[in-house]
Amino acid sequence: MPVENALGFLRSLESNRPAPDTIILFGPQAFLREFVVGAAAARFLAQGFKYRSFQIGAGSDFAAMLDELRAPDLFAGKRLVVGRVLKSHRDRGGEDAAEDESAATSRGPSGGEGALAEALEAGIAPNALMLVYEKDTVPARIRKAAEKSAAMVNCMRPFDNQLPDYVQAFARARGVKLAPGAADFLIGRHAGDLAGIANSIDKAAAVTEGGKPIAPEDLGEPGSRKMPEVFEIADSIARGRIAAALAQIDRALTFGRDPIEILAVEIVPVMRRMMIAASTLARRRGPGDIAAAIGASPSSGLVMRAIDGARRFGIERLHRAYARVTQLDECFKNGTVKEREQALGALLLDLIEEKTARPHPGA
């Protein structure tokens, strides 16, 4: 089967399509991996399966898990076996690095990857198996053995346009409905933090009357009274959500944050990172060079959001905006600008107007 993303697989679980006997999950989003495991397990348990769980770490192999799949059970005719392959197991290099066929065969009886691959190829019915890898990839031997009948689910970082669908998927899994505006409220509050979104829905569902849709006011503190977290304003700017950033600045000022601190800690650094990313991309360099210039990992959220913002705004617009930011920072510090709150709002409004008037060709 082709590799699916987590959102597509969750939709298939909600349909009447039969779930495959073997499901293999991988990818960098740990919360998303476990959420898919929970959603799939709920469907199997509703069909009469019994749940069994195993962890395969540095000092263990697949032997106990395979015995559970193969052995009959008087009290559990159908079993869902969940095996979590920890990073410590994958980092040993032993079985995954072995190329010799005889070595793979010799490991089979002892519960190595060769034995697991043989079990996948032979089929595991009437039982079901979920393999959860704590890495971004699946070993080639396991992937090849499972490609005919297993579902491969890649739990990637969600794109911005997928966030509303994830919010609705979390609500359906919890058995609740969201009122208009609730999804936008959750996205504005948590951005791409899927665990935070799901946790907010769970807490609201626990205190909301049965059958009543969850409204924004049910989701913890209303936005008008919630102080933005540190760097939440910077995140909104990098994602191009200037209107949300304006609202967050207004709330932060209401709670007593200093405009000088907001500019120096939130706005100047994020504009600098986007400028670095835009200038590096203009020289046809890759994410690795951008990460080195910023001083962070290529896979970090700071680097990814800087690249997204650079592509969204363009180098010319960012150059003009960064010049205004640094000038305003100087004026704040030498005291020439008195209406600092209004100056911050005007700065971001200028960025909106430039984005509307001079759209970037690559946008």
The Cα–Cα gap between 11 and 109 comes to 38
Residue 148: other Cβ atoms inside 10 A = 11
Domains defined along the chain, listed by start: 3-154 (3.40.50.300), 160-223 (1.10.8), 232-357 (1.20.272.10)
Query: How many angstroms separate the Cα of 205 from the Cα of each of 173, 188, 212?
Result: 11, 19, 9
Q: What is the pLDDT of residues 166-211, one digit of tens each?
A: 999 999 988 899 998 899 889 888 888 899 899 989 888 877 776 7
92 confidence band (pLDDT: 50, 70, 90): very low
The Cα–Cα gap between 308 and 161 comes to 13
Q: What pTM was computed for the model? A: 0.58
CA 197, chain centre distance (Å): 11
Q: Which two tokens stand for residue 280?
A: 């590096």
User: What is the bridge-based pairing of β-strands 79-85 and 50-56?
Assistant: parallel
Residue 313, pLDDT > 90, answer: no
Buried b (16+ CB within 10 A) or exposed e, 161-197: ebbeebbebbbebeebebeeebbbbbbbbbbbbbeeb
99 confidence band (pLDDT: 50, 70, 90): very low
Q: What is the pLDDT of residues 73-89, one digit of tens each?
A: 767 678 999 999 988 87
pLDDT for residue 335: 84
pLDDT for residue 101: 44
pLDDT for residue 153: 94
Q: What is the pLDDT of residues 277-295, one digit of tens each?
A: 999 999 998 889 999 998 8
The Cα–Cα gap between 41 and 37 comes to 6
Alpha-carbon dihedral of residues 55, 57, 61, 65, nearest 10 degrees?
0
pLDDT for residue 353: 59
230 confidence band (pLDDT: 50, 70, 90): low
Burial class (CB in 10 A: 0-12, 13-18, 19+), 63: middle
Residue 342, pLDDT > 90, answer: no
Of 132, 105, 127, 130, nearest to 118 by C-alpha is 105
The Cα–Cα gap between 36 and 28 comes to 13
Least confident of 110-124, 130-144, 148-162, 348-362: 348-362
The Cα–Cα gap between 84 and 275 comes to 41
Q: Which two tokens stand for residue 232?
A: 């939440």
Phi and psi, residue 92, nearest 5°:
-65, -30
Q: Which residue has the higher pLDDT, 273 or 147?
A: 273
Of 167, 177, 228, nearest to 205 by C-alpha is 177
Query: How many angstroms separate the Cα of 2 from the Cα of each of 23, 189, 357?
Result: 12, 34, 42
Q: What is the pLDDT of residues 12-58, one digit of tens each?
A: 988 878 888 899 999 999 999 999 999 999 999 988 899 999 999 87
Mean confidence (pLDDT) of the chain: 82
Q: What is the pLDDT of residues 208-221, one digit of tens each?
A: 776 789 888 778 65
pLDDT for residue 216: 84
